[in-house]
Chains A and B, each alone.
Chain A
Amino acid sequence: MWAFINKLRSPKWFYAISTKLQPWFWAVAALLLVVGTVWGLVFAPADYQQGNSFRIIYVHVPAAFLAQSIFVSMAVSGVVFMVWKIKVADMAAAVMAPLGAAMTFIALFSGAVWGVPTWGTWWMWDARLTSMLILLFLYLGVIALRGAFSSRDSGSRAASVLAMVGVINIPIIKYSVDWWYTLHQPATFTITGRAAMPMEMWLPLLIMVLGFYCFFIALTLTRTRSEILRREVNKRWVRELVEEAS
């Protein structure tokens, strides 16, 4: 554990290890996403209630999962950065935030589009959509706060604190929004809130979720490497690396 944390202190080590890892994650992500897309769009049977519009689930649910997981990963990276002063953790947190915001947007957009055939309207104050909207604002806050500081280190630490505060609040927000939603008893059912899903609908969903997670890991590795290059330009190893490559 300590040996691992000490290794993480070195951006050079992280760069080397992620260079080896990232092609694998990209390959697995591409494979899973292609298989999941074909299976979900072509082979999975239509839903008996919602017809083919339920196929939106295969992008909506993975994006919603990822949106929440990325915020948690960002907060964990923030803790690692604040406690052990590991810069790579902050670089990872910095590149995770825009991806998380993008995933939140995908979840919101696909949910809104799904609402048209299901509820007959583009927007419902559905519990899941409302929490997603709040999550989007939390992401925008973290991104804006990081960018607002002229010193990179202050921006990093401020964003870490805000991510930690946010991650404590996310379950509270989720719980209170769910409670608020049931209190106002809307006449419709939640789009994904059904108990049992047959295997042939559920498996492609699992594959898509795993594909989205691999995509997240692959992209974080790739962009953290870029971030290392950006921040460590003046280090000798970066120069040697670039000279070797050219």
Chain B
Amino acid sequence: MAFSSLNEFLAMGGHGPYVWAAWGVTALLMLVIVWHARHERRQLLRGVKRRVRRENAHRDALQRGAVAHSPTAQVPVNSVQGDVRNDA
């Protein structure tokens, strides 16, 4: 071990602010990156689930014949296609 006490470790031989600033920013940025990846994944899963639920509900409604002849029947399906950028 290169240090004999906690205070010595924190002081880093007078270079404390520099060492801790570099390490701190690195650690913080990497934690933010990991958090962002998790957050993004949850949001996406939630979005897909919501979409599936909405479409299932719509399909059930169609089967019951409630909106079968309505001109708006296709709208939810179109909206699903609509907000996806073209992947030609």
Q: Do chains A and B touch in the complex (CB under 8 A)?
A: yes
Give residues in A with beta carbon < 8 Å to B.
37, 41-46, 51-53, 55-56, 59-60, 63, 87, 99, 102, 105-106, 109-110, 113-114, 116-117, 150-153, 215, 219, 222-223, 225-226, 229-231, 233-234, 238-239, 242-243, 245-246
| Contact indicator A45/B2 (Cβ below 8 Å) | yes
Chain B residues with CB under 8 Å of A117's CB are 15, 18
Chain A residues with CB under 8 Å of B85's CB are 150-152
| Contact indicator A226/B37 (Cβ below 8 Å) | yes
Complex formed: what's the CA distance from A130 to B87 in Å? 38
Contact of B29 among A41, A106, A238, A245 (CB under 8 A): A106
- Contacts A41-B19, A55-B12 known; 10 new A-B pairs at CB < 8 A: A52-B13, A53-B15, A53-B19, A55-B23, A105-B29, A109-B26, A222-B41, A226-B40, A229-B45, A239-B52
Complex formed: what's the CA distance from A44 to B80 in Å? 56
A234 and B81 contact, Cβ closer than 8 Å, known pairs A46-B13, A106-B25: yes
Complex formed: what's the CA distance from A59 to B21 in Å? 11
Q: Once A and B bind, how many residue pairs between them come within 8 Å at the CB atom? A: 111
Tell yes or no: B75 within 8 A of A by CB.
no
Which residue on A lies nearest to B23, using beta carbons? A59
Complex formed: what's the CA distance from A53 to B8 in Å? 13
Tell yes or no: B62 within 8 A of A by CB.
no
| Contact indicator B18/A46 (Cβ below 8 Å) | no
**Number of residues on chain B facing chain A (CB within 8 A):** 36
| Contact indicator B22/A109 (Cβ below 8 Å) | yes
Contact of B44 among A53, A114, A116, A230 (CB under 8 A): A230
Give residues in B with beta carbon < 8 Å to A.
1-3, 9, 12-15, 18-19, 21-23, 25-26, 29-30, 33-34, 37, 40-41, 44-45, 47-49, 51-52, 80-81, 84-88
| Contact indicator A42/B3 (Cβ below 8 Å) | yes
Complex formed: what's the CA distance from A152 to B52 in Å? 24
Complex formed: what's the CA distance from A65 to B34 in Å? 20
| Contact indicator A226/B25 (Cβ below 8 Å) | no
A242 and B45 contact, Cβ closer than 8 Å, known pairs A56-B19, A231-B87: yes
Which residue on A lies nearest to B44, using beta carbons? A229
Which residue on B lies nearest to A112, using beta carbons? B22
| Contact indicator A51/B15 (Cβ below 8 Å) | yes
Contact of A41 among B23, B37, B80, B84 (CB under 8 A): B23
The smallest beta-carbon distance between B51 and chain A, in angstroms, is 7
| Contact indicator A233/B84 (Cβ below 8 Å) | yes
Which residue on A lies nearest to B56, using beta carbons? A243
| Contact indicator B33/A99 (Cβ below 8 Å) | yes
| Contact indicator B29/A52 (Cβ below 8 Å) | no
